[in-house]
Amino acid sequence: MRIFFAQGDLFIMKYVISDIHGCYREYLALLDKIHFSADDWLYVLGDAADRGPEPINVFQDLLSRKNITYILGNHDYMFLYFLGRKGLDLADKYLEDCDPEDITDFRMWLEDGGITTARQFMKLPQKERIAVNEFLEKAKSYEVIKENEKTYILVHAGISNFSEDKPLENYDFIDFIDNRTDYEKRYYSDPNIFVITGHTPTVYIRKDHLPKIYCGNGHIAIDCGCVFGGRLAAYAIETGDVTYITSP
């Protein structure tokens, strides 16, 4: 763990990662590589669920830690909608008793990577299901970090219907989790404000199409497509350093 001192105060390291998508081994390897400890803080920009091999193991590790801020992603939201206790709660219902439109949407989610999450979740004891639900129900829609005279706005996908004069608390949560960011556009005119996002793999943003973090126009995009054979990345707020684990 790296520790920074400023004006006599102790500062912990703050890391941002995103779109783990069930890549449990890569996630643990990344935490080990950055020497993540209980004295540091981890911000996860959503979508630990779906697609990869071990999404429920990822969730169970995250909820076991006290130094995590989890921001809801669109795949997490779909999981909560279909299997969450405050959603349709299909884990405890017969599908033939449900609205056909809900069943159609449920099948679309399963085909978009939700099948692994659903299968693993349904195998959990009831107590562990509740714990996963509670973890996601408490997830934030955004987070703001101020560090070294800079402001970092953390969201999963972007900021839909963006207006620079509109306070973040006046947006709906769906504005942060669904529509992709326009990385060609600077959102905030202040050069010391940065929007950190996941959701869109950086191979589709970078001109070189490499699975590396993208920085430009006030954006820091950190979804390097681990589940698609790319990388899982950790961005250090204090230093701007980036650490990668490459998917096998």
Please state the φ and ψ torsions of residue 130, each to the nearest 5 degrees. Answer: -60, -40
User: Is the alpha carbon torsion for 44, 48, 52, 53 positive or negative?
Assistant: positive
Predicted pLDDT at 153: 98
What's the predicted TM-score (pTM) here?
Answer: 0.92
Q: If we measure between CA atoms, which residue out of 56, 59, 181, 51 comes closest to residue 109?
A: 51
Strands (E) across the chain are located at: 4-6, 9-11, 14-17, 41-44, 68-70, 143-147, 150-154, 193-197, 214-216, 219-221, 231-236, 242-246
Angstrom distance (rounded) from CA 36 to CA 137? 25
Look at residue 100 in the predicted model and tell me its pLDDT. Answer: 76
* CA dist., res. 157 & res. 178, Å (int): 6
Per-10-residue mean pLDDT of the chain, 248 residues long, equals: 45 91 98 95 98 98 97 96 85 68 88 95 95 96 96 98 96 95 96 98 97 98 98 97 94
**DSSP designation for 226:** G
Other Cβ atoms less than 10 A from the Cβ of 141: the count is 19
